[in-house]
Chains A and B, each alone.
Chain A
């Protein structure tokens, strides 16, 4: 038996950098260094673990939609151990929102062929956390999302979803879409050997015509939502800082009382 896993990954601006908006109110990707979203590293890691724990012939494809630089994210995933990569790039994609992105990803996943899709819990830039659910809806397969623990056996995916009110055990037949949280297990660092091997792994490039998607289904002009304005929040005004010399707790209590919290 074989198991085809597609891992969706995103190339995002570094969160520790100074992120801002471009003139057209899309995320400015030019002035900040980009990287593979840390939350997608967990997805790559779980794909690798499923592969390592399986007797099946597992093939892991990493998939991203994004500009030329987004290939860096694919390289990182390949150096962690994924087998091959698909990069979807098209000028018409600039400014595509979550609904549009899910269309592009779903078509690409179908074209690549899959038994299991694994995504991170959300991106670290847009942070909507809706793409995995949208993919399940579009592909018409079970959604097994926000797992802190995941396993695949005999064509069934199982996992634990930790919600606010309860922790749930989930189960679905493949094919399915899974997303994993940052509680699912530390992602491995690429080894030197992995980095060297990644250079020889295939990276395919597809554009919208390869996916039979019309330009008017995606892009900023055709987005389903519109950002009318973006304003930098005023920095918080500097507060009072005291050094504890034996009275710090009482001083803090005094402040809280002055603000009517006590």
Chain B
């Protein structure tokens, strides 16, 4: 059976959920071979094996943390040369897409980004993409070389599928470009204790209607009552009320949770681009004409300062 390379997104050995989703998709096409780089790479093998990786190729070097993107491209290219896979899968983070693109160019292959589904096909893997702010759904294939495909988080279920997960050392020689862009400083983000925005089952977002950084406490309280992640519209981010990392939409994160609750958000096309594929959508907005109501399964026309605290209270009461 053909092997499929899966690039592992991990933080010091802790594998991020979208990588486990990639393993589910990779198993539809062939046998997953994982590639884990940098500090803690070898620690990823256990969980990768549980989810279907037959092999885990690892390599650690200081270059991965000291220079941007290219060392990882060099390593992934070495893995492609070692394995001759049927496809290469990478998660659609900003860095993931950059790595995938440069790899595709080097190995003479086409690239598809932001797939939301993947199936095996007679002429190679078929990727489903959601385009034009999710108003269209397309099916595409890579027609030249080894398909390189990046996949959005939440595109597949995480499935246990025990496999050997044999760890092998990947041999990598860095290219001249590897040390081109130096990372001279790094400030880690403080953890909020809430789920990761792109991975959360429920997202509670606030927009301009929240009217102030201090009022985001209302949104956070609702989120915490549901165990949800907190999102924000660009208007709220631009006003400095909430960090950019939590922005939902075209130039922020694209989310596809089971439940999305939009509070004081009008529903501009660029915001919809990042949340329109959510399974259930709920909105609270005082303007009955707001376009967000075109998307909702349930909407409340009202003042969020009345509705949201009442909702939070009621959820707490019901949960006991």
Interface size on A, residues (CB 8 A): 81
Asked if B155 is an interface residue, CB under 8 A from chain A, the answer is no
Judging by beta carbons under 8 Å apart, are A255 and B186 in contact? no
Asked if B245 is an interface residue, CB under 8 A from chain A, the answer is yes
Judging by beta carbons under 8 Å apart, are B139 and A227 in contact? yes
Given A128-B114, A134-B105, A225-B141, verify A121-B251 contact (CB < 8 Å).
yes
Write the B201-232 contact mask toward A (1 if CB under 8 angstroms, else 0): 01000000000000000000000001000000
* Minimum distance in angstroms from B234 CB to a CB of chain A: 8
* Partner-binding segment picked from B30-38, B48-56, B130-138, B165-173: B130-138
Give the secondary structure class of B's interface. Answer: mixed
Considering the complex, give the chain A residue whose CB is closest to the CB of B279: A259
Asked if B39 is an interface residue, CB under 8 A from chain A, the answer is no
State the CA gap A165–B138 with chains docked (Å): 31
Give the secondary structure class of A's interface. Answer: mixed
State the CA gap A62–B227 with chains docked (Å): 47
Judging by beta carbons under 8 Å apart, are B186 and A239 in contact? no
**B187: which A residues are within 8 A, CB to CB?**
166-168
Judging by beta carbons under 8 Å apart, are A241 and B301 in contact? yes
Given A99-B111, A141-B180, A233-B137, verify A224-B93 contact (CB < 8 Å).
no
**A39: which B residues are within 8 A, CB to CB?**
251
Residue of B94, B113, B288 touching A163 (CB-CB under 8 A): B94
* Minimum distance in angstroms from B184 CB to a CB of chain A: 5
A132-165 interface (Cβ within 8 A of B): 132-134, 136-138, 140-146, 148, 158, 161-165
* Minimum distance in angstroms from A262 CB to a CB of chain B: 5
State the CA gap A182–B238 with chains docked (Å): 10
Residue of B130, B136, B302, B313 touching A248 (CB-CB under 8 A): B302
A94-150 interface (Cβ within 8 A of B): 97-99, 102, 121, 124-125, 127-130, 132-134, 136-138, 140-146, 148
Judging by beta carbons under 8 Å apart, are A129 and B301 in contact? no
Judging by beta carbons under 8 Å apart, are A98 and B111 in contact? yes
* Minimum distance in angstroms from B235 CB to a CB of chain A: 13
Starting from the known contacts A129-B94, A166-B186, A230-B138, 4 additional A-B residue pairs (CB-CB under 8 Å) come to A128-B113, A233-B136, A242-B298, A253-B311
9 contacts between A and B (CB under 8 A): A128-B101, A142-B180, A142-B181, A227-B138, A230-B131, A240-B299, A248-B306, A259-B259, A259-B297
B residues within 8 Å of A by Cβ?
11, 68-70, 73, 93-95, 97-98, 100-102, 104-106, 109-114, 126, 130-145, 177, 180-189, 196, 202, 226, 234, 244-245, 250-251, 258-259, 269-270, 273, 280-282, 284, 288, 293-303, 306-315, 318-319
Counting from the closest, the 5 A-B pairs by CB-CB distance are A244-B302, A249-B310, A224-B110, A142-B180, A130-B101
